[in-house]
Amino acid sequence: MSSSGVRCFYCREDLCGGRKFVRNEGRPTCVRCHAKFCANTCAECQRAIGAESKELSHKGRHWHEDCFRCAKCFKPLAKEPFSAKDERVLCAKCCSREEAPRCRVCYKAILAGTESVEYQGQSLHEQCFTCCQCSRPLASRSFVAKGSDVYCGPCYDAKFAKTCVSCKKPIASGGVNYQDEPWHAHCFVCSCCSKALAGSSFTTHQKQVLCVDCYKSNVAKKCGGCHMAITGFGKGVNVVSYEGVSWHEYCFNCKRCSLSLANKAFVAKGRDILCSDCGADK
């Protein structure tokens, strides 16, 4: 602005001759006095915002146009959307980073639209949620937690799982424990017919594990009374033996009167077993 016959309100300098001045609350003020007494102070550089500078303001604070930048990335914001946070001015992207949750592994912001994982109430980037042993991402894989560590299935098995006595592979879950040794349920089978024994009756013979049927057919002695196999299972648990012959306890009876001879005196005549009374008869 210029005029003639006008003096600066502060320094009383003549403003004639086309000198530039501004009116501050209606009072003519030279450019120098305006900067000294009237101009706002830039919130960024702390210098006066002169009459010839373009000024931006927000919530009572003022900036030179060139000083109005994002406090984090320094992007000019004169023509960009922005947000004010804790007396800082931020561009939209940096504001989003400020408000976004932090990954518990890398501590960087998890921005909207970024693939992430929620685990134990904490957020992680998908690429940061990995097996602590092999570092493979776990977001789309099964995993096992042990303490504060997370493992993929193969790494957990290799480090912690018991090894099957039969196939020497890890037992991930379930399994059978026999004579303090671990087995897969499908590996714990009859040594003769390969029938699965988990949950079934079985016995051992010369360090071999056998199902009841194979034990009856291939190993068990025959009862001298009923001529059936003596397995030691069920009703035939108790066995009587005499001179190389064995009987189920319930089959060890007098040949003539059928009296049970278990825990009683008896007489052997040839291949027959008789009670004392029948043995005394002629």
Distance between first and last Cα of the chain? 156
Do the domains 235-280 and 161-218 match in fold? yes
Beta bridge partners of 58: 61
Q: Is 89 exposed, middle or buried (0-12, 13-18, 19+ CB in 10 A)?
A: buried
Q: Are 266 and 279 in contact (CB under 8 A)?
A: yes
Tokens 């493979």 -> residue: 136
pLDDT for the residue numbered 3: 46
Give the pTM: 0.36
Domain residue extents for the chain: 161-218, 235-280
Give me the CATH code for the 161-218 domain, please: 2.10.110.10
d(CA 275, CA 256): 8
Q: Which two tokens stand for residue 73?
A: 């990335």
Round to whole Å and give the CA distance between 56 and 172: 66
* Mode of pairing for the β-strands spanning 245-248 and 162-163: unpaired
Could you tell me if 48 and 33 are in contact, meaning their C-beta atoms sit under 8 angstroms apart? Answer: no
pLDDT tens-place string over residues 168-205: 888 877 788 888 888 888 899 998 898 888 888 888 88
For residue 86, what pLDDT band results from cuts at 50, 70 and 90? confident
CATH 2.130.10.30 for the 235-280 domain, yes or no: no
